[in-house]
Structure 1
Amino acid sequence: MYARKYSVKFGFLLAAGFGIAALSGCTPGPAYVRPSVTVPAHYKEDMSKKSTPPQGWVAAQPGDAADRGEWWKVFGDATLDELEARVDVGNQNIQKSLADLKQAQAMIGVARSSYFPQVTAGAGANINHTSKDVLGHSLAGRTVQDYSMGVTASWEPDLFDRIGHAVDAANARAQASDADLASMRLSMHAELALDYVDLRQIDVEASLLKQLVDNYVQAKNLVQTQFDGGIASESELEQAETQLQVAKAQLIDLGEARAQREHAIAVLMGVPPADFSLPPVDKTLPLPTIPVGLPSTLLQRRPDIAAAERRVAAANADVGEATSAFFPDLMLSATGGLEASHFAQLAMLPSRFWAIGPALIGTLFDGGRRHAQLSAAEAKRDAAAADYRQAVLSAFQQVEDNLASLHVLANEAVAHQRAVDASSKAADLAMVRYQDGATDYLEVVTTQSVNLAQTRAQVELSRRRFAADVGLIKALGGTW
């Protein structure tokens, strides 16, 4: 009779719970829709204008799982390839992002565990003495021993998808962490490429200055000879000496910048600077041509955009979880075990006990807490959507900035080369005029100083073009 009574009660509560779930559609909360963004048909600063949308093209979807590619190989430098290969293994920023990803993936398991019953077991031995001065107590003044062992199981069916929303949020955050890892890898590889390009440009500039120092030594020897012969003045000799020492000082000064680049490369690979060095190489790297593709594909290639979009999905799932709080929870629990006042009787059949009972629990009044939590979750989702749109806009800006830099710097390089050629010719002519006695050494110093400044500026311009190339590759997501 009692079993039937409890069975009817349990069946009623379970039927009521499932009835409410059916009426609510079982999944309260908004369905996720990716935030809309405005995508141009082509890049404004793409001078080639070859990237026209093909017929039937569709808006891109974030694809953070895409391989970033060994994009640094476009520079054709074996040393750079070797250094880049060590970044993924030794870089500590990447290792931290990898640990963050593992933590986010573990949280998926934490969220999914709520789908399953929780079972606990325990055993206890207590001795309790009751006061004699307690009136109406059957155990007054007595010492009672209590030995027990038992198992408790509880389970909350996910009637209104509260756990499902939590799992969806954990999944989305793990995907965002995966994209963060790809973004960190892209950033570290790009930073090493920039430092390496800077270092090689310093080597090129150092080689240039060494050649100029040799030329200035020859020029000074010429002036010294003419001074000894009474042709050149002491002032001209001092001008030649000054020019030579200034060039030597500039050559020495490059050592600081080169050391800093070398140290930065070591740290990016996770190596102490004291254990790493790169010998100087007078080699000019080729400038690659980077196909930019369609703006729509940028959403597929940028891992930071994918991460921002996944965080919107996670925030939307949080809204669903906050919505689920407005519906009741069904709790199923069961307890069973053994309990006796004497340890010898603990294993006997009369010592057994058990309890089972469902409970349908709902909040009737909470002072507006759930409404406030829902509003906060919705605001957090809106903020994540704004972050996503801003990430897209920033990505477009970065591509446009680097495209503009490459276009402007390419035109500037043509004009600058003419300036270098002209200043070099002027310096040669001034030296010939000086040797013929047609001018003083001041003209030689002036023209050679102009030539040196123009040549060094040309090397700096080359460095800026390489930096813009690396910046464009990074802005495009590291692959094409």
Structure 2
Amino acid sequence: MTALRKSTLRTALLGAATLPFLSGCIGGMVGPNYHRPKAIISAKFKEAPPPPGWQAAAPDLAKMPKGDWWTIFNDPVLNDLEERVAKSNQSLKEYEAQYRKAAATIDSIRAQLFPTLSGKFSFSRNSEGSSTSNTSSGVAYSVSRSYTSNTWTTGPSASWTVDVWGMIRRQVQEQVAATQADAALVANMRLSYQLQLAQDYFDLRYQDSLIALYARNVDLYRHNLEILQNQLDAGVADPTSVLQARYLLQSTQASLSNAHIARSQYEHAIAMLTGRAPAELTLAPSPLPETIPSAPVAVPSMLLQRRPDVAEAERNMEAYNAEIGYEIGAFFPQVTLSASYGYSGNPLQQLIQTATRTWSLGAAASETIFEGGSRSAAVRSAEADYDNAVATYRQTVLAALQDTEDQMSGLHYLDQQLALQNAAVKSAETAVQVSMNEYLAGTQIYTTVITAEQNALQYQETQLSVRQQQFLAEVKLITDLGGGWTTQQLPSKNSLQTDNPLLPSFIQKDKNGN
């Protein structure tokens, strides 16, 4: 527990019994004021600068389109899909609804700052009777009489719990910060779903490239099988060569079918992310792009302003800090003011009688004298929540740094790996051609050709896999840097305390207004 919070608690306990302190605290709030703790962050990225020539062409993160980070890939299909995620993803709408609920809760808490006004009206109609006895003329008889009366009771009344110590304002502060955290959560989940879609999209394009690769090899192996079959029919080839060519063709056809299965699953996943049934989405085949855009330039300090998960953790710290003040306020007496004015009677009979009008003014203060230490325990619990939020914030920043460093180093070494893999593919393709010529010349058996073709196909698959990993690492790095989002897009504290706060710009409506 910090010395500041201990001092605040001691002041609360000692000042609760003094009237001068009461007048001095009106308009203020008990409890510690929020100051953002320092994050554990480096001055620069360990894996930066990137390889020579890479940084010079890299876009500036600050100049990226806000939120539209995927446009750097210059893919119209991807652009359309990503825009649909923000508008139609149903999981994202769940988080947006939670944000709106949190924003509405602010108003319900703020309402406690104002007096509660109420009015009453009642009406009653009563019947009363009486009887009298008469013995005149020596005959006894009684006379009964009855009459009715109407009574109206009306009048307003008001009560107000004065927020002398700022308990309600601390609750408002806590809820405002929590709502901002929910807004950051919406932005983070939107970024997460858009990242997932981009990954699925490039995985699908990788499968398109694999399908094209397998299809080319299936045609090649089928042609080779026809040649060997003709040679066998002519008596110049052995049956083993034909069987080897056939199983190579069949295994490649099986790989082709498996690639089609994977592609279908990615297409279905993309449909779900864009809020559509799988039957409503069909993407035309297209291979992975030949070039990959350069990653944006950034420094670690930008993560504090551009990552929504970091912003969420930071807003949670202020919310828990306000909770401490609210719990400290429980040590102080609660002051309540009340007033009422009313009328009771029959207005037709007592219209000008002031005795039928009533009014009252009152003030009361209540204080818990003994509660067995529950209030002190509540303060300690709130302080533990705050300390936990601080640790979560710092850990979130460290995780952001790790993610970013991972992708930077990955892009660096994937670039080197791709260059080596391209050379290996060329060598393997040359080996296939040489082995086939030697087989046709009768100096090699067909097993040598099979081995060369299998190696070439494996190297080509690895080549595509490296390119796929490059795109996935690029997408992850851009989103690890926040994807162009900034904390300036969070709703301000003032806007959240209006009667109808506007939705943040990153919360979008679909064409149906949902």
TM-score, normalised via structure 2 length = 0.80
Which residue number corresponds to residue 76 of structure 1? 74
Unaligned residue ranges in structure 2 (runs of 5+): 1-17, 53-61, 127-148, 486-514
Q: Can you list the C-alpha shifts for 1:348-377, whole angstroms capped at 9, x where unaligned? A: 754322221111222222221211111111
Cα distance in 1, alignment partners of residues 391 and 192 from structure 2: 23
Cα distance in 1, alignment partners of residues 268 and 166 from structure 2: 53
Q: Can you list the C-alpha shifts for 1:72-121, whole angstroms capped at 9, x where unaligned? A: 01111111011111111100122112111111111221122122111112
Q: Can you list the C-alpha shifts for 1:150-177, whole angstroms capped at 9, x where unaligned? A: 3220112221111211111111111111
Show the 5 A alignment for 1:66-145: 68-124=66-122
Unaligned residue ranges in structure 1 (runs of 5+): 1-15, 51-62, 129-143
Which residue number corresponds to residue 442 of structure 2? 437
Structure 1 stretch displaced more, 320-329 or 250-259:
320-329
Cα distance in 2, alignment partners of residues 441 and 205 from structure 1: 26
Q: Can you list the C-alpha shifts for 1:210-266, whole angstroms capped at 9, x where unaligned? A: 111111111111111211111111111111111111111110111111011001100
Q: Is the 8 A contact 1:17 1:159 kept in 2?
A: no
Aligned-residue offset at 1:192: 0.6
Q: Is the 8 A contact 2:174 2:318 kept in 1?
A: yes
Which residue number corresponds to residue 506 of structure 2? none
Q: Is the 8 A contact 1:68 1:186 kept in 2?
A: no
Q: Does 1:469 align with 2:467?
A: no
Secondary structure at the counterpart of residue 354 of structure 1: strand
1:34 to 33, 36, 42: 36
Q: Is the 8 A contact 1:76 1:285 kept in 2?
A: no
- Structure 1 residues 146 and 387: CA distance shift in structure 2, 3 A: farther
Q: Does 1:169 align with 2:174?
A: yes
1:44 to 46, 63, 71: 46
Show the 5 A alignment for 1:32-431: 32-48=34-50, 68-124=66-122, 148-284=153-289, 286-340=291-345, 349=353, 350-431=355-436
Aligned-residue offset at 1:418: 1.6
Q: Is the 8 A contact 2:199 2:472 kept in 1?
A: yes
Q: Is the 8 A contact 1:300 1:306 kept in 2?
A: yes
Query: 1:70 is matched by which residue type in structure 2?
Result: D
Structure 1 stretch displaced more, 390-399 or 158-167:
158-167
Aligned-residue offset at 1:298: 1.1
Secondary structure at the counterpart of residue 33 of structure 2: coil
Q: Is the 8 A contact 1:413 1:458 kept in 2?
A: yes
Secondary structure at the counterpart of residue 369 of structure 2: coil
Cα distance in 1, alignment partners of residues 76 and 454 from structure 2: 36
Q: Is the 8 A contact 2:340 2:359 kept in 1?
A: yes
Q: Is the 8 A contact 1:338 1:347 kept in 2?
A: no
Q: Is the 8 A contact 2:160 2:336 kept in 1?
A: yes
Q: Is the 8 A contact 1:30 1:319 kept in 2?
A: yes
Q: Can you list the C-alpha shifts for 1:396-447, whole angstroms capped at 9, x where unaligned? A: 1110111121122222112211211111111111111111111111111111
Cα distance in 1, alignment partners of residues 431 and 307 from structure 2: 49
Q: Can you list the C-alpha shifts for 1:52-83, whole angstroms capped at 9, x where unaligned? A: xxxxxxxxxxx9xx974311011111110111
Cα RMSD (Å) of the superposition? 2.5
Aligned-residue offset at 1:347: 7.0
- Structure 1 residues 347 and 170: CA distance shift in structure 2, 3 A: farther
Cα distance in 2, alignment partners of residues 154 and 232 from structure 1: 105
- Structure 1 residues 472 and 411: CA distance shift in structure 2, 3 A: same
Count of paired positions: 437
Query: 1:95 is matched by which residue type in structure 2?
Result: K
- Structure 1 residues 358 and 17: CA distance shift in structure 2, 3 A: farther
Q: Is the 8 A contact 2:41 2:398 kept in 1?
A: no
Q: Is the 8 A contact 1:334 1:355 kept in 2?
A: yes
Cα distance in 2, alignment partners of residues 421 and 215 from structure 1: 17
Q: Is the 8 A contact 2:411 2:473 kept in 1?
A: yes
Structure 1 stretch displaced more, 288-297 or 349-358:
349-358
- Structure 1 residues 395 and 91: CA distance shift in structure 2, 3 A: same
TM-score, normalised via structure 1 length = 0.85
Cα distance in 2, alignment partners of residues 345 and 439 from structure 1: 127
Secondary structure at the counterpart of residue 385 of structure 2: helix
Query: 2:245 is matched by which residue type in structure 1?
Result: A
Cα distance in 2, alignment partners of residues 121 and 285 from structure 1: 75
